[in-house]
Copies of this chain bind each other. A is one copy, B any other.
Amino acid sequence: MAVKVTSRSEDYSRWYTDVVKMADLAENAPVRGCMIIKPYGYALWENIKEGLDRRFKETGHVNAYFPLFIPRSFLEREAEHVEGFSPELAVVTIGGGKELEEPLIVRPTSETVIGDAYARWVQSYRDLPILINQWANVVRWEMRTRLFLRTTEFLWQEGHTAHATSEEAIAETMRMLDVYADFAVKDAAIPVIQGRKSDSEKFAGAVASYTIEAMMGDRRALQSGTSHFLGQNFARAFDIKFLDEKNELQFAWTTSWGLSTRMVGALVMVHGDDQGLILPPVLAPFQVVVVPIWKDDDQRATVLAAVERVRAALQPGVRIKVDDRDEVSPGFKFNDWEMRGVPLRVEIGPRDVAQGQVVLARRDVPGREGKSFVPVDGLAGAVPEMLATIQANLYERALAFQQEHTAYPEDYAGLREAVAEGFAYAWWCGSAACEAQVKEDTSATIRCIPLAQGERAGRCVVCGEAASERAVFGRAY
């Protein structure tokens, strides 16, 4: 643990993997492409889950659980859907020692099996809307995998809703995109751009896909959560029909939306530095680590007694870890918890005890500048306040970083330059040909067409034809 991570400037990709492993978030599993989420990484995921689950319930959703296995024939009912997912499927062909008559797909996503259930559950407009979320594992066979960012098995939530009208389903799609953005900004301290996916990037089977896109520390984009308006596509494929108020039979309108353990990767790459992880206090498994410092047994007893006073002052409001290990030095502990990104460190030595104070050291501001002396009496107020300051600072500097690396090119040469450096907001005529050309020339893709648009008339940065929207171009994970 005394070994340092690769620096970001030397090799960003190795830096990422080093941090994930050395901060003890996850490791590769024996099965290719799968991962083991270690306790510290899982505690982070539990806090992410809690922040999302609360928001889902506040917006009227309930949780349920649908089966892991999906009959192959279900996927085939929606033509675009099966085409999109076919190359990524894991297939069970043997069950209980026998070859199965119909192979079973390990769910890559659950629109089909849930659509089949909704068809049974919905008869009348009174049965709508259905607002259900599921927390589950899904499997997509991936050739090139990276911990949290792209793994064969991953954990996520998938919301699936059915509505009586197109308007309601669209409103739901946008509401959940807002929920994701609210979570990203307030809990994860990650600024995001909300927008629509281009046709080439949308979910297989959707009418329209919406996304929150975030800028990572290497200025690449990470799609961090998506919300899909599925129109009547899955309702037609699975026969989700209802009698409306006029007693006429209609197909329902559905949506789906998901956010995954990928978010852990986003936290690493948006906030981390060359000392390791930096976690936003709202999500950090431990918000404060207390490191006692002593030289002999007398000091040890005195200092540990003071540590208990600190603990009493901060709990239960603050998530706190006291590192009272005997076998390693305080300096080792400092490095260890810096690597793990604990937002605030409390140091207490014998001199501090004598003076009735502690040292607070901010993870987000290295060196002396981030250190302050605080009287033990004032900790109950000072610590939560400082955690809020850290949370705000992480967001503000991520936003500043994103803005600094975002350009508004007006011509193609400018676009090529801009996407090499970060995000580019540029006029786009909407044609797939222009989109494809950018990708071929620069490897950048349209991350989204932002919901927030200013003026509505320009010239496509690729072909020069009339354009009514700007798209955000960028290289992506």
Contacts and interface: CB of A to CB of B under 8 A. Distances in A.
A67 B30 CA distance: 9
Chain A at the B interface: mostly helix, strand, loop or mixed?
A: mixed
A65 B40 CA distance: 11
A342 to B, nearest CB: 16
Contacts of A117: 27, 36
Interface string A24-40: 00010111001111110
A289 interface: no
A137 interface: yes
Given A39-B64, A63-B46, A327 B126 contact: yes
Contact of A30 (B74, B103, B126): B74
Contacts of A242: none
A239 interface: no
A427 interface: no
Contacts of A143: 96
Interface residues of A, number: 56
Question: Top 5 A-B pairs ranked by shortest CB distance?
Answer: A96-B141, A34-B67, A91-B94, A39-B62, A37-B65
Given A87-B96, A132-B39, A153 B68 contact: yes
Interface in A353-391: none
A316 interface: no
A97 B92 contact: no
A51 interface: no
Contact of A43 (B63, B89, B116, B136): B63
Interface in A60-80: 62-71, 74
Interface string A210-230: 000000000000000000000
Given A36-B65, A67-B36, A90 B87 contact: no
A68 to B, nearest CB: 5
A43 B56 CA distance: 14
B93 A35 contact: no
A386 to B, nearest CB: 26
A438 B70 CA distance: 42
A102 to B, nearest CB: 9
